[in-house]
Structure 1
Amino acid sequence: MEGHAIGIAAPDIFCFTLVPRAVRQIRVEDRSCVFHVKSGSYQDVAEHVLNGRADLGVSRLPLDERLFDWMPVTTATNVCLFPAGHRLAEKDLITPEDLRGERLIDIEPRQNTHQMDLNALRYMGVEPNIAVEVDANGHEAAFIAAGVGISVTNSVVAKECAFFGLRFRPFEPGAIYHHVVFWQRGRQLSGQLRLARERLADALRDPA
């Protein structure tokens, strides 16, 4: 294949709008670049970069500092994600008590986010009503759009779900998530990879 090949790994949800926006801008600046895009869970993304299947990854901390270097880009907080017109749209802040009786789309039990969300609900005396468990952040968007339920996710992921016509509001108790662009530790990035790193960071920092 002609041109400078760049491998990018990102969670599934970021491959709908974020990565395409970054790729578009990179090619405006250097049309010789061509791309191989890998997607999956945060763990999948780390493995793609570690094993050389991707040059750069988009993820969130923690990452193993013995294996990766990264550029801090943006932070996210907890939000509740729901369809347009949902009753929760009338609230400025959503708490576990507000989720009583709602069907939830949740990340699978091995994810820390799952345990945090469910523990918060149970602490408030609300037993979670799980309708669907998904194995990667962002997969919940399609189920929410289909009317199956609502979800608690982070604000960066929620902004990437805008193309589904979904809405979100801040959710407490909250947490802080640190999103980064990362690569193999000690690797010297070429000019094209430094450009790609910067444009991925731009797209992550400023969602459309």
Structure 2
Amino acid sequence: MNAKPRIAVVVGTTRPTRFADVPAQWILAQAQARGDMEVELVDLRDHPLPFFDEVASNLWMPSQNPEAIRWQRTVGGFDGYIFVVAEYNHSISGVLKNALDQAYTEWNRKPFTAIGYGGTGAARAVEHLRLIGVELQMVSTHAAVHIGGADFMALHPHFGKQPITAIEANLLPAARTALDELAWWAKATMAARAADVAAAA
């Protein structure tokens, strides 16, 4: 198997004043600079999903809502994910949780990592994301990128207003490790899924 894994950078908040675009564009550039993956941005603003209201998860029966189906087709085309995570009250945003719930089979046996931001670098939200990912039969990387504390304040548009390059040296080691792990798991799970398909044929 020689194909590079396709990775989605999923922007996990839709607020008009969101900060998410800064880390999203930064991690996108880091991932695109590598030679071992193909990376695209997937913005929840482009997917106006309803609150989950299907009869059941698409693990059990096909979804009916056209936007849910479009979302499933979008995320299903990727081999791994980088979630851009804001921390809302010690968890992920409501729109990200809803987006995760709107698919199931498309997430199965695929890896993910995260870049989180906020006072604690979204550490609690990323941990919650990992719990959700396990239930969706995903594989979490050990490493993630956290923009927190003084680094977050340096970038925030209401405080330091600095470009992300001002703190980049603090982020690069974790980003390299997280992306290395993501690439490894993406290749491993791609091979395993292909073997399952071949065995079922």
| Structure having the larger proportion of residues in helix | 2
When normalised by structure 2's length, the TM-score is 0.32
